[in-house]
Structure 1
Amino acid sequence: MQNGMTPLHLAVWYSLRAEEFSTVKTLLEYNADCSAKDDEGMTPLNHLSKGHENGKLQALLLSHCEEQRRRRAIEACSETKAKMDELENELSNIVGLHELKVQLRKWAKGMLLDERRKALGLKVGTRRPPHMAFLGNPGTGKTMVARILGRLLHMVGILPTDKVTEVQRTDLVGEFVGHTGPKTRRKIKDAEGGILFVDEAYRLIPMQKADDKDYGLEALEEIMSVMDSGKIVVIFAGYSEPMKRVIASNEGFCRRVTKFFNFSDFSSEDLAKILHIKMNNQTEESLLYGFQLHSSCSVEAIAELIRGETTEKQCKEMNGGLVDTMLVNARESLDLRLNFDCIDTDELRTITLEDLQAGLRILSQ
């Protein structure tokens, strides 16, 4: 197409001189795009300049432009609802973290409304990527939430990919002068278009300020230098108290990392809900794939079991890790109590409350 002009551009241009627009009508009947722009940024309607006024042609184009805008808005609305439903489905697999869920809904709704605005021909500014800090003990779901977040931010258009690159100090920091910068930049390059998840980020900052041989701060500064580029979302994760060292180590940290989320320790009820979610969302790679819970294993019954068989210290130290260990032990308990002559398929694959109890007692021992 010459100068980026579509067939509709050319038909309008011809109609202005021939004073007949049957070709324009035909193209519009086949849904030619009224909003398409040529290399000069002109739509077919823009070519109806004051020097070449044609009332009937202009009315025809305006009518079809409005109809196409309305149709796109309806399509965008349907797609938006589907994406929000997908978002809610993903959020249902996250236990607790009310504040984080509210923020995710805000981001998702804003991005999806921007899609609607663009579909209606409006121009809107690009949103900045939301850099975050996840604060909490091990096992509280920080890594799992980061992976879900990668999928959600990609789904609503904040990120071009859903990849999450997980790194720790050893992936970023070199042993000698000049090693840390290139090592960190390689990881940043790997994460472009997605999320860079820096686990145990406080390990980048030495306990003693006088430690001149530690290159962790250099790695942190490399990461900070790309956070304004819009090419990457960075999540710093770690224990709440040690993370204060990271925040205090760089004056630009709080300017770039604007969202802080606290991952609280899980209660017995939370752990019971997590167990149910894991059992209901298994893949073929899962250790409990093919197994099911007995009907007596309600959330309330499992929560009561956890309270009775574990200490507060155990729950706090393991959090979500307690569920995985409990389920593996419960499967072994099921195997132990079954006979080889058992042919009942339900019995062969059903984990009972007694199996879960045995799994917790093994853990305590």
Structure 2
Amino acid sequence: MNQPGRIHVVLQPKEKTAPAAEPDWRRHPDHETLLDIEKELEKLIGLADLKILVRELYAAAYINKKRIEAGIETKGQMLHMMFTGNPGTGKTTAARIIAAMFKQLRILEKGHFIEAERADLVGEYIGHTAQKTRDLVKKAMGGVLFIDEAYSLARGGEKDFGKEAIDTLVKQMEDHQNEFILILAGYPREMAHFLTLNPGLHSRFPISHHFKDYDVEELYQIAELTANEKCYDIDAAAKPILLNKIEEEKRKEGFRFANGRNIRTMIEKAARKQALRLMKKTAHSKKELRLLKGEDF
């Protein structure tokens, strides 16, 4: 009850205002490159961590460009990368996609992609390896040099010329900073040993990414995708059979299981079994010619 001489004020609760919506970068015309790259990435099964890394690399390059335009003194970023993971986990595919993005962003003068292996760097006599390695880096100038199974450079013992290739690569990275991007890839344990061969190696790779093995469900999705690329369909009734086969092979192979490569082999083998099965008939419908059944696996 109000007392005489007093004014009673009723405070109305403030209406809650919704926070301002964050602008959607996807609608910005500057980011069409990232949209194109992410469309490519969406075609890949799994690799969630890689998709985050690619977006971070794009954002860093974009903002770095804006800093330069704003007159902020900006040093070139070292973008050399180390990819580790078991076979068939997408390391080479990722390297190609990242190289394509850097080309579109004009981070590198040319943006071409060179894929190399031990034989492209290691020579047959003293001095030959250093020259081969320097020549390869020269070809990669303004682009991306990708060396798969880089740990193979560490094989052969003390008298092997692989160590010379590693030392030459380190020197080239020092002499030509920001003029090319080197991406090394290989299996986790072997690459850990590889990094111990030269004290300057580890610090030369500010970006390191590990590619996880695919789980059974992701591998089945890869199987469907692989089959479709080859104009086959996997029968719905065959799914549990194929899932069990993938799980069994993954367990049996252990660290030797080659992820996507094993799946491609499974589909190719199933296609051969299907061909034998269909040979027993004289007429075939289009559906039959496309369908892979449980018995084919």
TM-score (norm. length: structure 2):
0.77
RMSD: 2.9
Q: Is 1:102 aligned with 2:43?
A: no
**Partner in structure 2 of residue 253 of structure 1:** 201
In structure 1, give the amino acid aligned to 2:274: L
- In the TM superposition, what is the alpha-carbon distance from 1:114 to its structure 2 partner? 4.9
Structure 1 counterpart of 2:214, from 266, 278, 298 = 266
Structure 1 counterpart of 2:153, from 195, 204, 222 = 204
Larger RCO of the pair (alpha carbons < 8 Å, separation 6+): 2
Identity %: 32
**Partner in structure 2 of residue 214 of structure 1:** 160
- Cα offsets for 1:258-294 (capped at 9, x unmatched): 12222233322221122233345x4xxxxx2xx1314
How far apart, CA to CA, are the structure 2 residues paired with 1:297 and 1:84? 39
- Segments of 5+ residues of structure 2 without an aligned counterpart are 1-24
- In the TM superposition, what is the alpha-carbon distance from 1:183 to its structure 2 partner? 0.8
Structure 2 counterpart of 1:292, from 232, 244, 264 = 232
- Segments of 5+ residues of structure 1 without an aligned counterpart are 1-73, 283-287, 358-365
In structure 2, give the amino acid aligned to 1:338: L
In structure 2, give the amino acid aligned to 1:350: L
Distance 1:79 1:295, change over 3 A: farther
Contact 1:142 1:237 in 2 (8 A): yes
User: SS state of the match for residue 206, structure 2?
Assistant: strand
Structure 2 counterpart of 1:330, from 249, 262, 270 = 270
Contact 2:61 2:107 in 1 (8 A): yes
Aligned length: 267
How far apart, CA to CA, are the structure 2 residues paired with 1:123 and 1:142? 37
- In the TM superposition, what is the alpha-carbon distance from 1:136 to its structure 2 partner? 2.2
Aligned counterparts, 1:1-365, within 5 A: 77-80=28-31, 82-114=32-64, 122-123=70-71, 125=74, 127-206=76-155, 208=157, 211=158, 213-228=159-174, 229-280=177-228, 282=229, 288=230, 291-294=231-234, 296=236, 302-307=242-247, 309-314=248-253, 316-317=255-256, 318-339=258-279, 341-355=282-296, 357=297
How far apart, CA to CA, are the structure 1 residues paired with 2:106 and 2:294? 43
TM-score (norm. length: structure 1):
0.64
User: SS state of the match for residue 106, structure 2?
Assistant: coil
- In the TM superposition, what is the alpha-carbon distance from 1:180 to its structure 2 partner? 0.9
